[in-house]
A and B are shown apart, each in its own frame.
Chain A
Amino acid sequence: MTLDLILFLILALIAVASALGMLLSRNAVYAALFLVLNFVTVAVFYLLLGAPFIAMAQITVYAGAIMVLFLFVIMLLGAENLPGITNLRSIWFPGTLAMVLFIEAAYLLIVKARPTGDVLQPEAVVNTMDNLRQLGTSLFSDYLLPFEVVSILLLVAMVGAIILTKKEKGVR
């Protein structure tokens, strides 16, 4: 068993455990913090897979901005304490559905698609500046139109969020 594999297994264990912690926790703040841990672990996976820019974007956007927004809303609403999963009998049907989904996904991805090959070794990860330059060139040449569309999408989302949370005057 090589060092890479041990590293992968430990990180995978942390990722799955933090996802389960998010799923089962009774306190919404704890759930959000478990999700932050999960995002950071996935960012380390991105680093191992040779995508340093995506890893940094993951940490700043997901673990930073999005989760801070979540925590802010949880505390704004005062909804920290949730009712846990009280009715155990209502779990088995969704649980079965989820297991069927997992088996299907594993079958399709592993047996049918049959992806082969090994991912990059950590020491063979491409030079960071090189990766960034290639990514930027590709983003601003081949993918220029989707990039502009994403900017419009972000603008629309921003306007939508402001309008939704604004108090209407004279209506109530």
Chain B
Amino acid sequence: MVPINYYIILSAILFTIGVTGVLIRRNALIIFMSIELMLNAANLALVAFNSVLENFSGQIFVFFVIAVAAAEVAVGLALIVEIFRTKNSIDVDQMSSLKG
């Protein structure tokens, strides 16, 4: 039997790695992947709690989170492509002007 604490700690570790990725990387694509990692860590915690509580709310929340993540990726990647077209770079340090 695996205690739920282990799953929660694993989820916290994955979330922290995602936050670190957002903070230390300057590439927009890697930052985006780190955000996906954070969403995934939250999902893992939800499913772990769901498994202890034995109802289905946690799984349904995860279902919604996956749908929102899909929408987010579609729009975000479109934005990154558009930024690359105007600036020829996806370094977030260079996105300093409001007008392209």
Taking a contact as CB atoms under 8 Å apart, the answer to whether A45 and B63 are in contact is: no
A81 to B16, CA, bound (A): 25
Q: Within 8 Å CB of B78, what residues of A?
A: 160-161, 164-165
Taking a contact as CB atoms under 8 Å apart, the answer to whether A121 and B1 are in contact is: yes
Name A94's contact: one of B23, B73, B79 (CB within 8 Å).
B23
Q: What is the number of residues of chain A that contact chain B, defined by CB distance less than 8 Å?
A: 78
How far does the Cβ of A62 sit from chain B's closest Cβ, in whole Å?
Answer: 7
Q: Which residue of B lies closest to A102 (CB)?
A: B16
Interface: A97 (CB within 8 A):
yes
Which one of A5, A22, A97 has the greatest number of beta carbons of chain B within 10 Å? A22
Which one of A110, A119, A160 has the greatest number of beta carbons of chain B within 10 Å? A119
Taking a contact as CB atoms under 8 Å apart, the answer to whether A139 and B60 are in contact is: yes
A120 to B77, CA, bound (A): 38
Q: Within 8 Å CB of A51, what residues of B?
A: 47, 50-51, 59, 62
Q: Which residue of A lies closest to B57 (CB)?
A: A138
Given A38-B37, A102-B13, residue A66 in contact with residue B48 (CB < 8 A): no
Chain A, 1-25, contact with B by CB distance < 8 Å: what is the 0/1 string? 0101100100010011001101100
Which one of A19, A62, A74, A97 has the greatest number of beta carbons of chain B within 10 Å? A19
Taking a contact as CB atoms under 8 Å apart, the answer to whether B24 and A138 are in contact is: no
Knowing that A35-B33, A58-B43 are A-B contacts, what are 10 other residue pairs whose CB atoms are under 8 Å apart, sorted by A's residue number?
Answer: A16-B14, A23-B30, A39-B40, A58-B66, A61-B70, A98-B16, A115-B49, A117-B4, A117-B52, A153-B68
